[in-house]
Structure 1
């Protein structure tokens, strides 16, 4: 297990995951979020190749649809 900082909170997930897998394990739906990874907004197509390691910092913003 590794510890990440996600939206300012310490969260634990399995070791050896890529970003997309980590998001799923943390309870996010990857198609509905934008991720800042260690200070950089990371394009969605890069997520499967991006390993997640101890102490990485993620800011996850959920996309909300709708309107008035």
Structure 2
């Protein structure tokens, strides 16, 4: 399999990565806890159970929303 680089957007910022990258791998790489984020991929909210099986494609747009608690 040939690895090709793809261009995506994360929270509106360009990001270059490998085309074989899963969403879960990206979150780990960026040091996000997948249990404390909401992910929107191309305007669709993804459930956490799909993070491992969702692979990134060229021109994907990802919004990462961090969930914080407090009181």
| TM score, norm. by length of structure 1 | 0.84
**Which blocks of at least 5 consecutive residues in structure 1 are unaligned?**
none
How many residues are treated as equivalent by the alignment?
Answer: 67
Counterpart Cα distance in 2 of 1:51 and 1:9: 19
Structure with the higher fraction of residues in helix conformation: 1
Matches within 5 A, 1:1-68: 1-67=5-71
| TM score, norm. by length of structure 2 | 0.81
- The alignment's C-alpha RMSD in Å is 1.3
**Which blocks of at least 5 consecutive residues in structure 2 are unaligned?**
none
